[in-house]
Amino acid sequence: MIQIKSFVCNPFQENTYILSDETGECIIVDPGMYSGYEQNDVTDYVQSKGLKPVLLLNTHCHIDHILGNKFIHDRYGLLPCFNEGELPVLESAPAYAAPMGIRYELSPLPQKYLPESGSISFGKSELELIYAPGHSPAHLCFYSPADNFIIGGDVLFYRSIGRTDLPGGNYQQLINSIQERLFKLPDDCIVYPGHGPETNIGDEKQYNPFLT
């Protein structure tokens, strides 16, 4: 069974996730750590649980989801994994950081890119890749069939959806991604979003004002 720990990071209040299983291997998803306190919070958790980080995943490459990429690489030797369509977003991060006064340490580049479908594994666990563009050009979500949850990034939020006014965003594409891909998941599937509280597929089908 996968254990999930979340950390709220950086001025954008982004959710960073650590997923681990009984083997002690773990993956770090969307490291947004910005301050020393946030960095210590994550590494202290890893150390206290005796975990071994084996993968660094980015759902997408907007700056709030990659602020900790370099730190995780320096600390654990992990290169980020994301879909190649997000590379222009990653490369534009410095231009976004400067006007906002955000300190951004350049993320390393992937050694290999994630495909639009398939799966990734760590320990005894497996996550399916769900391609869900719209908020960003090549956004991926990570779904656990065994534990019935999805790490959704900035696609679907509690009673809301990801913004589409940034470069590479497309409102209708985002709606299609949610309705055609995420809404195919079980109604009781828990959604762990990139911002805000968790929700579930069934509630968002029924109550999300953007989708009802």
On whether the CB atoms of residues 95 and 63 are closer than 8 A, the answer is: no
Q: What is the pTM of this model?
A: 0.97
- Mean pLDDT estimate for the chain: 97
* pLDDT one-digit tens code per residue, 30-75: 999 999 999 999 999 999 999 999 999 999 999 999 999 999 999 9
Contact 51, 20 (CB under 8 A): yes
Tell me the sheet residues that pair with 144.
149
> Structural domain of residue 83, as residue ranges?
3-207
Q: What percent of the chain has pLDDT over 90?
A: 95
Model confidence at 125: pLDDT above 90: yes
Report yes or no on 87 lying in a domain.
yes
CA–CA separation, 48 vs 45, rounded Å? 5
Considering the domain boundaries, does residue 42 fall inside one? yes
Which CATH number fits the domain that encloses residue 166? 3.60.15.10
Mean pLDDT (whole number) for 84-102: 94
Q: What is the mean pLDDT of residues 100-127?
A: 96
Q: Please check the confidence at residue 212 and state whether its pLDDT lies above 90.
A: no
**C-alpha–C-alpha distance, residues 121 and 24, integer Å:** 13
**Would you say 171 and 134 are in contact if contact means Cβ atoms under 8 Å apart?**
yes
Domain count, the chain: 1
The structure tokens listed for 81 are 């994994």
The pLDDT-based confidence of 167 (bands split at 50, 70, 90) is: confident
Residue 212 belongs to some domain of the structure: no
